[in-house]
Amino acid sequence: MELYLDTANLEEIKHAVSLGVVSGVTTNPSLVAKEQEGLTREEARLRFHQLIRQICRLLPEGNVNAEVLAEEAQGMFKEGKELASLAENVVVKIPLTAQGLSAISLLAEEGIPVNATLVFSVNQALLAAAAGASYVSPFLGRIDDAGGDGVALVSQILKAFRNYEISTSVIAASIRHPRHVTAVALEGAHIATVPYRVLMQMIKHPLTEQGLERFRLDWNKIIRK
C-alpha cells in the first residue's frame, strides 16, 4: 500500500519526504485554506497554484492532488485543466456529484488523471470508475464520525472493483488514527492518505523506545569510567 500525506503544509511535506515513505500528497480546499488568509479571490487562486507547484517540486515523482472549487461541470473541467497544467504530477480532485461525473469524463477523455473525492458509498465509487476516474477516495473517518463503518466501505469498494477488474485505485482517505491505516492495508487498499500527525504516530512504539534505552544502558556498562 502506498502512503500519501494529507496536508498542504510545506514543512510537514518536506519532513515526510525526507523520511522516504510518501509517494503522494492530497490537498483539499480546507487544508489549503489553513495555509493562507486575508486574500482576494484572485490572490487566493494564484497562491493556491503557487503552493501546488511548490508541493510538486518537493515530490517530483509523486502524485500531488489538487481540488477544483467550481461546482458545475464546465467550470470544473476548465479548472481541472488549469491545475493539471501546473506540473506533470498533478492529479485533479473532483467531488462526486452529477456535475462532477461529467467533469471527470471530460478530463479523463483528455488523459488527465482524476481522483473522485467525497465518496461515501460503493455506488458513488462505481460511478466514478465508470466515468474514468483513476482514483476514488472514500472518506472513512467521516463515515465513522456519522456512526458508520468506514473500513467496511473501503473493503466493499475494493471487492466491487475486483469483481469487475476495475483498474481505478482506491485511496483510503479521512484517516483519523494508525489503526485505520493497518485496517485498510489488511483490506488491500491501494493507497492511504494520512495526516502528518498520524504518520508520526505510525513511527512510534513504546517497545522500540524501551528497547533502544536498554541497548544504550547495556552498551554503557562495558565502557570503563
Q: Which residues bind ligand E4P (CB under 6 A)?
A: 6, 26, 28, 117, 137, 139, 141-142, 173-174, 193
Q: Strands 114-119 and 191-194: what pairing? A: unpaired
Catalytic residue at 204? no
CB of 4 to ligand E4P, least distance (A): 8
Give the residue from 96, 134, 142 showing the smallest Cα distance to 115: 134
Q: Which is nearer to ligand E4P, 113 or 215 (CB)?
A: 113
Give the residue from 100, 80, 99 showing the smallest Cα distance to 90: 80
Q: Which is nearer to ligand E4P, 185 or 214 (CB)?
A: 185
Q: Angle at which helices 73-84 and 98-109 pack, to 10 degrees?
A: 40
CB of 98 to ligand E4P, least distance (A): 20
d(CA 140, CA 163): 21
Q: Which of 34, 93, 204, 221 is catalytic?
A: 93
Q: Which is nearer to ligand E4P, 9 or 193 (CB)?
A: 193
CB of 62 to ligand E4P, least distance (A): 14
Q: Which is nearer to ligand E4P, 21 or 212 (CB)?
A: 21
CB of 191 to ligand E4P, least distance (A): 10
Contact 133, 166 (CB under 8 A): no
101: which DSSP letter?
A: H
Q: Which is nearer to ligand E4P, 45 or 142 (CB)?
A: 142
CB of 200 to ligand E4P, least distance (A): 16
Contact 94, 102 (CB under 8 A): no
Long-range contacts for 177-182 (Cβ within 8 Å, ≥24 apart)?
Answer: 177/201, 178/202, 180/140, 180/141, 180/150, 180/151, 181/3
Half-sphere exposure of 20 (CA within 13 A, CB side): 0
- The residues annotated as belonging to the active site are 93
